[in-house]
Structures are given as structure tokens and as C-alpha cells.
Amino acid sequence: MTKEASREEARRSDQDGRQKGDDSQKSQKDEERRPPQRAEVSNYEIVSHYFGKAAERLELEDDVASVLRSSYREVQVQIPIKQSDGKTHVYAGYRVQHNGARGPYKGGIRFHPEVDLDEVRALAELMTWKTAIVSLPYGGAKGGVNVDPKRLEPSERQAVARSFMDKVEKVLGPMRDVPAPDVGTNAQTMAWLMDEYGKLHGHTPACVTGKPIALEGSYGREAATGRGVVYMFREAAPQLDMKPSETTFVVQGFGNVGSWAARIMQQLGAKMVGVGDADGAIHSDEGIDADKLAQIVADGGDVSDYDGGERLPSEDLIEIDCDVFIPAALGGMIHKQNADRLKARMVVEGANSPTTPAADDILADKGVLVVPDVMANSGGVVVSYFEWAQNLQHFRWDEREVNDRLGRMMRKAFREVNARGKESGVPLRVAAYEQGIERVVEAAKTRGYID
Ligand code: NAD
């Protein structure tokens, strides 16, 4: 059976299950897709823990901390979609705006079956610190719909995107809140969102970022998060005497972030010895060609369709001997039960909240250098900022200019956080949170939003 046919079958069987109102009737494909052993804590607990640790060190007043711990606005909407089985299915959509002291809210929109309010809340808060760490004039937000896009027809995906925009447009806009792609969404999704927003407000390209080039998207945006991850690796590498051209790496998740990080690492001469996605993983000490694999995935395949390498379950990826491990899938995938199996000397977090606090402690004890999500994956929002700035002027920079500017901002963020960490003897994650929180508090106080 072809992949497309098997997806279609999984989708139908899922719909049948729902029709019968029986949640326990999960398809076999569901079982196969079940993520490997996941975290002992939620994404929200992960972000809250790191915030609490930094807030304590900064001696933040309790009332200030409680403002920063909670969201400014949380919107939950109903998304009813008539699907090809003739039934209307209802999905839940969320947009959480965490803090807007430094500028318009900014953050991705995720389409994934595990999306819930708690996860979106955590990711929104992370965006507040991330935009501040990298000195962007933005606040933090996130959105999501609890739908599995792989089980939708393209027309149904479009209907979900348009319906979501119709329900949340009142709190969005170029000067209010600007969405971007995240897990399960892409440039096409952003095009539909922009078009739907335009029906109500007139052509407004700056209302979303990560759009296709044909619709005032920015050159370099698609690769930006992965490219940023590699800039971070290059900054951190000398601390462990690593030379990019002699480095081996493993990537967990081969979507937008993972596939671009892998391709750009490969351009530096580094060798990918392991890679996995939701459906499986492969290992090869001879190297896996990231460009070839990206083409397979672009053509609708999975990592396991790669010709070569040894197949292994996704959860064993962490055990592959390598220098750098790049998590680029979902949150909580490096956790208490598997952190001690990690062989790499460096982790550069492409994903959001991939490492639980217990795992972070285990990695620290093992001497692993962790470049944390709040700065490591900020390349996407940096180039989203460039796209927004270009859109507001209906102007366009070439890709080289985008990449050079991205490099400057990422290097600056790394060096500031690294210097702070060295000065106070704390890991990069703690230093990064401190940097972000301090900047947000200063902005909120200067505005008079808090005393
Ligand atoms: P994507 O949907 O393009 O890719 C996600 C990848 O993860 C896919 O290859 C998928 O198969 C894989 N995956 C899912 N579940 C898995 C599992 N259980 N085990 C192994 N792999 C699994 O998403 P993306 O945009 O690349 O985002 C990946 C991560 O990076 C997310 O945590 C996201 O929040 C974060 N991030 C994305 C951006 C961006 O610009 N897209 C920016 C910053 C952070």
C-alpha cells in the first residue's frame, strides 16, 4: 500500500471511530504514530520551572512574578469543519497572548492532535522570553488547533485555517499579534490565514509571517530556524573544541527545523549519523545525506523511506554515538527516563521545551553543553521580524542580506547570554531566561503596566 493510501485508510478509520463515538477504537496507525516514552511533566511545567528558577535568582517581587506567570489573554474557539465523510467535526482552536510589554504579540500556530490550552500557554510564555533574549520588539504568543493535519484533505486543512482566522481575527493584526508557522503548519497555511484576514481588513501581508515568497514572504524564512540552530552550534563549538567539519550529529524530527538544520550542518562538513521522525529512525556511521532525505520528505515520504542505514525505533535515536544532538520535534522528548542514554556532548534545542528539568539536571551532571530553546531556535522569529518589517514597507531584501542579519543577531544573543552565564556561573538556560525576564520587566515597568 502506498503511503498516501495508508494515510487515507488511517484517516477513514479514525473518522469511523469518531462516528461511533468510541475513543478507544484507535487505528493501528495511531499505535504506530504514538510518540516514544514522553516526559514526566507537561510543557507548561517545564517552562514554569525554568521561569521560577530565573525569577528567584533575579529576586523578582511576588506580584511582578505573578503577572509574568500568567497570560494577558487566552482565546479558545470552536472550529466546525464539514469533512469528506459528510459529517461535521469540531476541533478546538487556541490563541494565547502571554505578554506584550515589548511590542505586538508574536508566535506560531501549531496543528497537532495533542494541542491543548496548557501547551499553547507554555509556548506563548516561551515566546515572550525568546523575543526579548534576541532583542526583538515583540511580545509572546502562540496558537494551535487540536487536529492531525496528516488526516485532512488539503481542502479540509484550508477550511481549518480559514475558520481559525475567522474566529480569532479580532485579537490579531500587524500591530496586535502576528502568527507564523509551527508544527503541522507551513507557508501555505500562512497564505490561507493572510487571505482570510484580508477579506475582512483588506490586503495586509504583515498580519502573518512565514508566507510563501509569492505573497511577500521573506527570502530565508523557511530555513531560518534551522539556520539559527547552526549559528548557535558554531558559537558554542569552540567551548568543546569541536570543529564543524569533523562533527557528527543526530537530528530528532525531520520537518522544517530539523531538515534545514541538518542540511546547513552538512554544508559545513558535519556528518549526520542518525535521524528520526514520528514514524521511525535510521542510523548510519557512514552518514545520511540530508539533502537527499529532505527531497524524500518533500515528495511525501518519511525518514524510513531513505535508502541505506540501519532502522531503529524513534526512542533509540538518543543512544547514537555523536557529538551533537539536535531535538527538532516536540516538547518533553529528553526526559528523566532517557536523558542518561544520550551520548552527545552538546544538545542544541531546535524544538520548544524538548528537555524536562529532571533531564536537564542529568545532562548537566554528564557535562553535556545544552544550548537552550529560548535562544537556539529563535532564528525563525528573527526572520519573521525581518519579514514583518519588509511587509510594513512593501520592500524586499535579498537572501544574503537576510542571512547575514540573522547571523549577527544570533551571535549577539549567544555572546550576551554566554557572558552572563560565565559571570554568574550558571548554565546557558538560566542565563537566557534571566536576560529575557529582565528585559520584559524593564519594558513593563517603563510603560507603567506594573510598578
Ligand atoms: P514540523 O511539523 O515541520 O516537523 C516536526 C517533525 O517532528 C516531523 O518530522 C515529525 O515527524 C517529527 N515528530 C513528531 N513527533 C515525533 C516523535 N514522537 N518522534 C520523533 N519525531 C517526531 O515542525 P517544525 O516547524 O519543524 O517544528 C519542530 C519544533 O521546532 C517544534 O517544537 C516547534 O515548536 C519548534 N520551532 C519551530 C519553529 C519554526 O519556525 N517552524 C521555530 C521555533 C521553534
What's the pLDDT at 29? 42
Distance CA 385, CA 190 (A): 15
Distance CA 416, CA 262 (A): 26
Question: Does the beta carbon of 384 sit less than 6 angstroms from any atom of ligand 1?
Answer: no
What's the pLDDT at 188? 98
User: Which atom of ligand 1 lies at the shortest distance from residue 33's CA?
Assistant: 18
Residue 102 alpha carbon to ligand 1 centre in Å: 27
Q: From edge to edge, which strands make up the β-sheet containing 105-111?
A: 73-82, 88-99, 139-145, 105-111, 177-181
What's the pLDDT at 37? 58
What's the pLDDT at 40? 82
What's the pLDDT at 28? 41
In 3-state terms, what secondary structure has residue 71? Answer: coil
Question: Does the beta carbon of 254 sit less than 6 angstroms from any atom of ligand 1?
Answer: yes
Q: Which residues of the chain have pLDDT under 50?
A: 1-36
Residue 258 alpha carbon to ligand 1 centre in Å: 7
Residue 107 alpha carbon to ligand 1 centre in Å: 15
Catalytic residue among 29, 130, 142, 211: 142
Label residue 115 exposed, middle or buried (CB < 10 Å: 0-12, 13-18, 19+).
Answer: buried
Instruction: Provide the phi-psi class of 211: left if phi over 0, else alpha when psi is between -120 and 50, else beta.
Output: beta
* pLDDT digits 0-9 by tens, 26-55: 344 444 444 445 688 999 999 999 999 999
Question: Does the beta carbon of 179 sit less than 6 angstroms from any atom of ligand 1?
Answer: no
> Which uninterrupted H or E stretch holds 282?
strand 280-283
* 367 backbone dihedrals φ, ψ, rounded to 5°: 80, 20
User: Which atom of ligand 1 lies at the shortest distance from residue 181's CA?
Assistant: 41
Residue 180 alpha carbon to ligand 1 centre in Å: 14
User: Which atom of ligand 1 lies at the shortest distance from residue 377's CA?
Assistant: 43
Distance CA 347, CA 234 (A): 12
Task: For residue 43, give the C-alpha cell.
Answer: 510543557
Question: Does the beta carbon of 277 sit less than 6 angstroms from any atom of ligand 1?
Answer: yes
What's the pLDDT at 38? 67
CA 82 to chain CA centroid, nearest Å: 29
Question: Does the beta carbon of 42 sit less than 6 angstroms from any atom of ligand 1?
Answer: no
Task: For residue 332, give the C-alpha cell.
Answer: 518533553
Nearest CA to ligand 1 atom 29: 351
Residue 394 alpha carbon to ligand 1 centre in Å: 30
User: Which atom of ligand 1 lies at the shortest distance from residue 257's CA?
Assistant: 26
Question: Does the beta carbon of 111 sit less than 6 angstroms from any atom of ligand 1?
Answer: no
Question: Does the beta carbon of 275 sit less than 6 angstroms from any atom of ligand 1?
Answer: no
DSSP 8-state class, residue 286: T
Is 142 labeled as catalytic in the residue annotation?
A: yes
Half-sphere exposure of 235 (CA within 13 A, CB side): 25
Q: How many residues does the chain have?
A: 451
User: Which atom of ligand 1 lies at the shortest distance from residue 123's CA?
Assistant: 34
This prediction has a pTM of: 0.92
Residue 110 alpha carbon to ligand 1 centre in Å: 10
DSSP string, 210-257: S--GGGTPPTTHHHHHHHHHHHHHHHHGGGGT--GGG-EEEEE--SHH
Judge whether 319 and 12 are in contact, CB under 8 Å: no
Distance CA 26, CA 143 (A): 26
